[in-house]
Amino acid sequence: MTSTRKAIVMGASSGMGREMALLLLADGWQVGVAARRADALEELRQQFPEQVTVMPIDVTDDAAGEELIQLAERMGGIDLYFHASGIGKQNPDVDAKIELKTVATNGMGFTRMIDAAFGYMAEHGGGHIAAITSVAGTKGLGMAPSYSATKAFQNTYLQALEQLANMRKLNIRFTDIRPGFVATALLDGEHSYPMLMDVKTTSQQIFKAVKAKKHIAIVDWRYRLLIAAWRRLPKCLWRHLPIKTKR
């Protein structure tokens, strides 16, 4: 008999994290759900009392990594760690508070949680680490400096850990998920975004990529074309382009 698969979804209170948790639950997984908002996590537990384990975690807290390990131990191990926790905001005025908060969550918080998952899996026979990063990590976007910079950091960090896992002969797989603009609470309605994607459809594509254990998944096909074009632009041209997310 095949043992029940176990996953932890960090950022499961809303958006793509919540949708991913629901897709995993529908597929029969035991799911540990984590986020700052305990009330939203409790709603999931009430819906799936036999499958859901709750742990309120704020990735910016120093103890967040230890809390993730505690959740994994409560579940009796994990096969998949899915990281969907992140923030982003257009900041053309370069407000330092916005920039630093973004770095604290997408940089330090991301590192804290991915490291904890990596360390746990290294000690317990391996597993799969998947994280939602962004196509914004491809190039520096002037309208969102810290957001695009932290997403580039995430892309490179996952690549480095994948290489390290192979060097250490660890059975740890990585999936770097790079969606375009998705209609979640992260896009707060202040602007109109081009090529905006539906959260449910996007999450289903992400779920398929995770199940297939792809190394990198750019979602969707329009963004694959866009990113291919961005990568071919020379720096001297890119720095003069007025790239904006508002129509």
154 close to 88: Cβ distance less than 8 angstroms: no
Q: Which of 147, 157, 193, 223 is catalytic?
A: 147
d(CA 168, CA 21): 30
- Clarify whether 147 is annotated catalytic: yes
Q: Within the chain, what is the greatest distance between any pair of CA atoms?
A: 59
d(CA 170, CA 201): 33
Residues whose CB falls within 8 Å of the CB of residue 134, separated by 6 or more in sequence, listed in order: 88, 147, 148, 151, 178, 179, 180
Nearest to 139 by CA among 125, 123, 121, 151: 151
Residues whose CB falls within 8 Å of the CB of residue 126, separated by 6 or more in sequence, listed in order: 170, 171, 172, 173
Q: Active-site residues: which are they?
A: 147
